[in-house]
Structure 1
Amino acid sequence: MSRSPAVYLLASAKRGTLYTGVTSDLIQRVWQHREHLAQGFTERYGFDRLVWYEQHETMENAIQREKKIKKWNREWKIRLIEENNPEWRDLWQDIAGTS
């Protein structure tokens, strides 16, 4: 996976607390979350499960999408996740190429 702007959702557990973020390097950013290097809200809730992401052509588009998703209610976010990841599988292995 090459570096490209992405919007992502992390979860503390299946149907747990959700975090919406945006980044220019999804692998690096999710790794930071998994290693608990991201301080604040994500560190406090132990987000380490990537449950959804969407890549974009430009950072501007990714930021706009992130802002929209952040305004959504929780059920809409859960529906977004479960459309493509009904088991809430950690997608880290998919993006990092690890087993």
Structure 2
Amino acid sequence: MFKALEELVKALKERCDDVEVYLFGSYARGTWLEDSDIDLIVISKCFEGMGSEERYRYVRNLASKRLPFELLIYTPQEFEKVKKRSIVIQDAMEYWIKLT
């Protein structure tokens, strides 16, 4: 699973030079279970002009395997706004792991 995650991050970096990828949730805390999903925050200018569904498909299509992802995908401007009002993001920022 971690190899596939590394491959996804590499593919994102090849296509979006400004991409930031953060792991959060149970994998970042070290409390995952066998059926836990992988929680990622992905931030890049590459997503400007894309709707949320298109962003999700874009990232999912770069994954070599169908991994159990929970994806939060933002442009840098969107992330600056959402981090001030989203409890999920504020919590994630306490312990997330930067992958890029």
TM, length-normalised to structure 2: 0.27
More helix by share: 2
Q: Relative contact order, CA 8 A, sep 6+: which one is greater?
A: 2
